Amino acid sequence: MKKQQAGFTLIELVMVLIILGILTATAVPRFVDLSGNARTASVQGLMGALRSAATIAKATQLSQGIASNLPVTLEGVSVAMSGNYPQAVALGIDLALSDLVGFTPSGAGPRTFTLRTSCTVVYANTGTGAATITSNLAGC
């Protein structure tokens, strides 16, 4: 009579563990890469900060009775205004924000804040109506 095998050999178990380890090492980084989510959250956070800064500057201007095209002072800094909102320039919205860590501002009218290529926030103020804030999350 033949002797029947009662279980797996140690070599078979080790081989299965090695194969599972290789599969895990290649598959997990694809599912666990959260850097794109972090960049998207940063862009959305900057959009919120831009909205808040613009609203605070407008509220300050209106409460102090300052003309719509004259600068307002926020925390000791003079912010250039146009149409009741900060201008889309370095001396306008950038100063109203005061913290742009990680973003590179560029342009004037509209002002673009770049986290990385095709991962941007754009602030525009035409001087009439509300300022507009849009984002491009394609490269995040």
Q: Residue ranges per domain, the chain?
A: 37-136
Beta bridge pairs of residue 68:
none
Distance CA 24, CA 1 (A): 42
* pTM (predicted TM-score): 0.76
Residue among 123, 119, 105, 122 nearest 39 (CA): 119
pLDDT for residue 39:
92
The answer to whether the CB of 91 falls within 8 A of the CB of 80 is yes
Say how many residues make up the chain: 140
pLDDT for residue 8:
77
- Residue recorded with tokens 């998207």: 40
pLDDT for residue 10:
86
Give 62-72 pLDDT, tens digit per residue: 999 999 899 99
pLDDT for residue 19:
92
- Tell me what percent of the residues of the chain surpass a pLDDT of 70: 96
Give 17-59 pLDDT, tens digit per residue: 999 988 888 877 777 777 888 999 999 999 999 999 999 999 9
- Supply φ then ψ for residue 77, to 5 degrees: -115, 135
